[in-house]
Structure 1
Amino acid sequence: MIGDEDLYFFREGTHARLYDKLGAHLQPDGGVRFAVWAPNAQAVSVVGDWNGWSDAADPMQPRPDGSGIWESVVPQAQRGHAYKYRIASRHAGYVVDKADPMAFLAEAPPATASRIWGLEHDWHDHDWMATRRARNALDAPMSIYEVHPGSWQRQDGSFLGYRELAHRLAEYVCHMGFTHVELMPITEHPFYGSWGYQTTGYFAPTARYGTPQDFMYFVDHLHQRGIGVLLDWVPSHFPNDEHGLAYFDGTHLYEHADPRQGFHPEWNSGIFNYGRNEVRSFLVSSGLFWLDRYHIDGLRVDAVASMLYLDYARKHGEWIPNRYGGRENLEAIEFLQVLNREVYRSFPDTVTIAEESTAWPNVSRPIEMGGLGFGMKWNMGWMHDDLAYMQQDPVHRRHHHGQMTFSMIYAFNENFVLPLSHDEVVYGKGSLLGKMPGDSWQQFANLRALYGYMWGHPGKKLLFMGGEFGQRREWTHEGELEWWVTGMEGHAGLQRYMAQLNRVYRDRPALWQIDFHSAGFEWVIADDAGNSVFAFLRKPREAAPPVLVVSNMTPVPRTNYRIGVPLPGYWCEVLNSDAPEYGGAGWGNLGGVETDPVRAHGRMQSINLTLPPLSTLILEHKPHA
């Protein structure tokens, strides 16, 4: 039941578990308790399968406390029944059937009703839950595989269900060595082509792939296989479908009334009114819900920049300044801080990650220091600069050398994730492999070199599905990935390379232990633009060997290339992107090299390397061969 304390926190904007109070809840003695927030309604009824969708059968009663919450208990309603709220507004005779904003399950699209459901599940991921704090920590390896569930794989053209997807995906991710899966939004969405980013059901996994228990099984199974599950979550905007949140009770309840604040011109969608406390409670509860009831390990919060700036995607005169005359959305800032504070207070072993595409300061810094409180932030600048560099013909890369080194100027301002996401392979952008210049061999070599450089660079890693084997066509949600190409040597070699790159990464603390402080990184060669060579050291916190990463971004092999190193002894070549098993030409250093007492790059010791064409080498120090 809804108590006085619930109402207080709901109205304050800090209620983090509304899903226990509002919505449809099966009662122990039968029937269903319904509760919905509709403060500007004249009348509300529950209409559904059991009453012939008649608004006279099961009217709801408004609470006398002025909260705007309507309640009822319906003895005839049962698990699985479809239902909506028929809302008659106080304004202009507006009557509408709305899906339940707090529903745990919806009808499979294109149907739009909610379904009565429970959230029981016998979890078997105890070992994962006991250890996930260390797995999600800032000093842990994190290699994320981004997945769109409807188009990763299919069965005879049809979607895989959550359970079948769980087994296939877990097996593949384990084989490929990724640590986490990040799902593009699985919150219920009426338009499949929105990829989940136009959400109507903020508490319901999409019924396209199964029930809540099926999705719980998915998370449970991946956890049992040692894989973390991150969820792409969208509090930035919502669609205007009639059954959804828009104009919910005949007023702009969840969104701003003024289109300069409440309508997103880029996405043709509504913008939440973050200044309304009840809306803030709704969104915070949604975020916490997935961590609580589904054991999700973290939230990747979509389009944070669109929330932070009042003038985002707007021209002069199309937006309303804040109370100080600025363009910062003060209410959105407060909401994000409340969200992150509550997530880390309630689930300190999870992580929140911001997709924030500007230079907004302190996104991943504590709220007490003026930050937004996220655990990490996508490094969109790194992604744009490095892809722009790699798309250059190698003969011209010497003139763009700084695009690859610029990220280190700001690399430790935030806790960064390096993303090569779905956004880079859609809408005419082509595939990652297609962005690479040269003939087919050079394209694969370029992509292997880029991945090696990326996995060596400070920051956690994210790669969208298909990138690991070099799909040639850009991603489309209408079918599955081009798995058939993995039978071709270039693609198969890249796939083997990515699996080994992930293993090299996970097995070497130097590559992830100090990702967010300059103590973990040191340039060796940052200025050899003429040869398009980069070399840097990654250093661990504990007594583990340092790692040297060397990239040659031209198709010219470079022999007798001397590089200064900090320690004498043997430098073992633990990964060579030009190895024949990955589709390379086989240039290399016969497994490693001994140091010489020859000064180079300000160091007393150095090694003499052969740098393969279009390659990245990863070398690890050992005292002796």
Structure 2
Amino acid sequence: MTQQQETHAWLTGYDADLFRSGKHYHIYNKLGAHIRTAGDAAETHFAVWAPNASQVSVIGSFNGWEQNANPLTVREDGSGIWEGRITGVEKGALYKYFIRSANGYEVEKGDPYAIYWETPPRTASVVWDLDYEWTDQTWMEKRAEPALQKPLSIYEIHLGSWRRVHEEEGRFLTYRELAAQLPEYCRYMGFTHVEFLPVTEHPFYGSWGYQVTGYFAPSSRYGTPQDFMFLVDALHNVGIGVILDWVPSHFPTDQHGLGYFDGSHLYEHADPRQGFHPDWQSAIFNYGRHEVKSFLISSAIYWLDKFHIDGLRVDAVASMLYLDYSRKEGEWIPNRYGGRENLEAIELLRELNVAVHQSFPGVITIAEESTAWPGVTHSVSNGGLGFDFKWMMGWMHDTLSYFQKDTVYRSYHQGELTFSLHYAFSERFVLPLSHDEVVYGKHALVQKMPGDEWQRLANLRLLYTYMYGHPGGKLLFMGSEFGQTNEWRHDFSLDWNENLNPAHEGVQKLVKDLNALYQTEPALYERNFSPESFEWIDQQDTTNSVLAWARKGNHGSDQLLFIANFTPIVRENYRIGVSKPGYYREIFNSDNLRYGGSDLISADDIESYPIPKHGLVHSLPLTLPPLGVIVLKYDREFEWL
């Protein structure tokens, strides 16, 4: 299948009206720079929204950056769109818009709809096309199947620091070099998806992509748009979905970007109480402006349409929902009802999710929403925001808080682990151990753990096994899968040499096997977002710091028992009640020698006895490994039954 730049007609009056109404979700096909054929000569059509400009012209490598060489004409329909075509402008030409506003302001701006940019720190847009020969038809057909009853195990990565070429002064891998390594690694590890920190073009590498200037362009640091397509294609061809971080919450104020675009606050609010973000020192979109809504929703649709992206993780949703987010009294403007809810942002998010799900069945949307906003993953028709999943930030904070405590004190804090089950099914959650938890002095996950080196790694294996046994999707940031010792450093490669250490290689093997367990045991995914999927066996044994629970699939036989010992003390003859008498098998043990554990495992079937426990008439006598989790599965009934 070949995806080519469509032969677009000129922007029509209908396009302009749809754009002005906030409903043009494919406006990227009309605004921006589009190469057309004009006989034997290349011709490029330029169109840009700048309603407060008195003059707009295209400057570039083809006209010596002359301000008056190629003026555009403003449309007469009041849309504020300037357009024109220039013969001889070919693929690869550099360009910007020179804008003079009625107030005398003059500026050179990159194209908001550019599909390719110069490599930062250079700031020009690049005339380009999106021709590409896709080979992922099988994946795209299968993707449309419902996602909620399938495993979701996400490997979150930052493209610039997953691996680097040490022989060449630590340069980035290109998209195509990543395509030669990343898909096979993800397939080997058993992840179902990768999630890229923002790929959209950004001027400051140290922002990790969260300060976006190019909402329609993959970063040129790693190659061309076609190179990025090649990476997505390669991932699809080994069965790995691709999720992009997408940032509609704010944008940087770099002069070549969206800020004060045409001599007015076009994309952002003029009042800093609404238009400037105190946390990130960046501008906030004016979600009530229809043309901005068209810009943002069409950006999201663009990645799904042109790049076959399988999901969008929407960054900092809480900052969009609340007008007083990170603001003191008097620093924000209430909505028309006097409340703190950002009504325009709520409407944008709802429209976004409806548009995505109507046009792209099987594509998922994920909200990073850090508050208790109700109905984030409820349908729009039922008053929700319409996301498929939400990051379970409360689970992450409580769990890491618990695990950082010395094991002597854990018995007093067991509620930090059990509390999440009080609200685990109020939304469809993803459990995130993300990049945010391993930077800025927070330490790598393994370094958060108490005890000596063996105990730290055992605690990490315990954490991961507990996470995979907990309802919800899973997300691990790169490096965490082998217990990297250093914090994440965006200017360096991951410390892959640590895998030469058998203890760290053991953590990696554990994650690989957990992914395999997750995808082969229906009890862990079939009813992942339903309360019927989970049942406590014992959550009250704070004295021993032990938790026991059951995970259940659609069929009665699809049931797993998890027993977790959060101390380094071996628990002999520890009994748990079971509802079904017979023999049980230990199908997973985080203390396995294969993972670097003490190898306190049960190789034989475990027989139940008619000794009541936990309100059940039968129970199993177990040996619980130190800082470990065992997973049991019913094997068979007694021969005489």
- Determine if the TM-score, normalized by the shorter chain, exceeds 0.5: yes
Deviations 1:365-400 (A, max 9, x none): 001111000011000000000000000000100000
2:3 paired residue number: none
Deviation at 1:133, TM superposition (A): 2.7
Aligned equivalents of 1:335 and 1:542: distance in 2?
A: 40
Deviation at 1:545, TM superposition (A): 2.1
1:72 paired residue number: 84
Q: Look up the SS of the partner of 1:172 in the other structure.
A: helix
Residue pairs, 1:213-252, within 5 angstroms: 213-252=226-265
Deviation at 1:82, TM superposition (A): 0.7
Deviations 1:280-316 (A, max 9, x none): 0000000000001000000000000000000111111
Q: Look up the SS of the partner of 1:524 in the other structure.
A: strand
Aligned equivalents of 1:42 and 1:623: distance in 2?
A: 81
Does residue 1:8 correspond to 2:17, yes or no?
A: yes
Aligned equivalents of 1:615 and 1:273: distance in 2?
A: 50
Aligned equivalents of 1:592 and 1:41: distance in 2?
A: 78
Q: 1:99 aligns with which of 110, 123, 127?
A: 110
Residue pairs, 1:571-590, within 5 angstroms: 571-590=584-603
Q: Look up the SS of the partner of 2:463 in the other structure.
A: helix
Q: 1:89 aligns with which of 70, 84, 101?
A: 101
Does residue 1:149 correspond to 2:162, yes or no?
A: no
Q: Look up the SS of the partner of 1:260 in the other structure.
A: helix
Extract structure 1 runs of 4+ deviating beyond 4 A: none
Deviations 1:211-250 (A, max 9, x none): 0000000000000000000000000000000000000001
Does residue 1:603 correspond to 2:612, yes or no?
A: no
Q: Is the 8 A contact 1:459 1:515 kept in 2?
A: yes
Q: Look up the SS of the partner of 1:31 in the other structure.
A: strand
**Which residue identity lines up with residue 33 of structure 1 in the other structure?**
H
2:58 paired residue number: 46
Q: 1:20 aligns with which of 29, 44, 63?
A: 29
Specify every segment of 5 or more residues in structure 2 that has no aligned partner in the other structure, as ranges: 1-9
Q: Is the 8 A contact 2:17 2:79 kept in 1?
A: no
Aligned equivalents of 1:68 and 1:192: distance in 2?
A: 33
Q: 2:348 aligns with which of 335, 341, 359?
A: 335
Deviation at 1:598, TM superposition (A): 2.4
Q: 1:190 aligns with which of 183, 186, 203?
A: 203
Residue pairs, 1:268-307, within 5 angstroms: 268-307=281-320
Q: 2:463 aligns with which of 438, 450, 460?
A: 450
Aligned equivalents of 2:397 and 2:180: distance in 1?
A: 34
Q: Is the 8 A contact 1:574 1:591 kept in 2?
A: no
| Matched positions, count | 623
**Which residue identity lines up with residue 151 of structure 1 in the other structure?**
S
Deviation at 1:544, TM superposition (A): 4.8
Q: Is the 8 A contact 1:592 1:619 kept in 2?
A: no
Q: 1:428 aligns with which of 441, 448, 455?
A: 441
* TM-score, scaled relative to structure 2: 0.96
Aligned equivalents of 2:17 and 2:618: distance in 1?
A: 67
Which stretch has the larger CA shift, 8-17 or 442-451? 8-17
**Identity among equivalent pairs (%):** 58
Q: Is the 8 A contact 2:581 2:637 kept in 1?
A: no
Aligned equivalents of 1:442 and 1:45: distance in 2?
A: 65
Q: 1:55 aligns with which of 38, 57, 67?
A: 67
Aligned equivalents of 1:138 and 1:501: distance in 2?
A: 19
**Which residue identity lines up with residue 81 of structure 2 in the other structure?**
I
Q: 1:32 aligns with which of 44, 67, 83?
A: 44
Deviation at 1:543, TM superposition (A): 6.0
Aligned equivalents of 1:221 and 1:544: distance in 2?
A: 37
Deviations 1:573-624 (A, max 9, x none): 1110101110001112225412222221122322111100001111222226
Q: Is the 8 A contact 2:13 2:77 kept in 1?
A: no
Residue pairs, 1:166-565, within 5 angstroms: 166-542=179-555, 544-565=557-578
Aligned equivalents of 2:109 and 2:99: distance in 1?
A: 7
Q: Look up the SS of the partner of 1:490 in the other structure.
A: helix
Q: Look up the SS of the partner of 1:373 in the other structure.
A: coil
Q: Look up the SS of the partner of 2:221 in the other structure.
A: helix
Aligned equivalents of 2:266 and 2:617: distance in 1?
A: 68
Aligned equivalents of 1:290 and 1:623: distance in 2?
A: 50
Aligned equivalents of 2:368 and 2:488: distance in 1?
A: 20
Q: Is the 8 A contact 2:584 2:635 kept in 1?
A: yes
Deviation at 1:123, TM superposition (A): 0.6
* TM-score, scaled relative to structure 1: 0.99
Aligned equivalents of 2:399 and 2:337: distance in 1?
A: 38
Q: Look up the SS of the partner of 1:108 in the other structure.
A: coil
**Which residue identity lines up with residue 159 of structure 2 in the other structure?**
P
**Which residue identity lines up with residue 247 of structure 1 in the other structure?**
Y
Q: Is the 8 A contact 2:35 2:45 kept in 1?
A: yes
1:109 paired residue number: 120
**Which residue identity lines up with residue 369 of structure 2 in the other structure?**
E
Deviations 1:526-574 (A, max 9, x none): 1111111111111001465201111100000101111112222222111
Specify every segment of 5 or more residues in structure 1 that has no aligned partner in the other structure, as ranges: none
**Which residue identity lines up with residue 418 of structure 1 in the other structure?**
L
Does residue 1:623 correspond to 2:636, yes or no?
A: yes
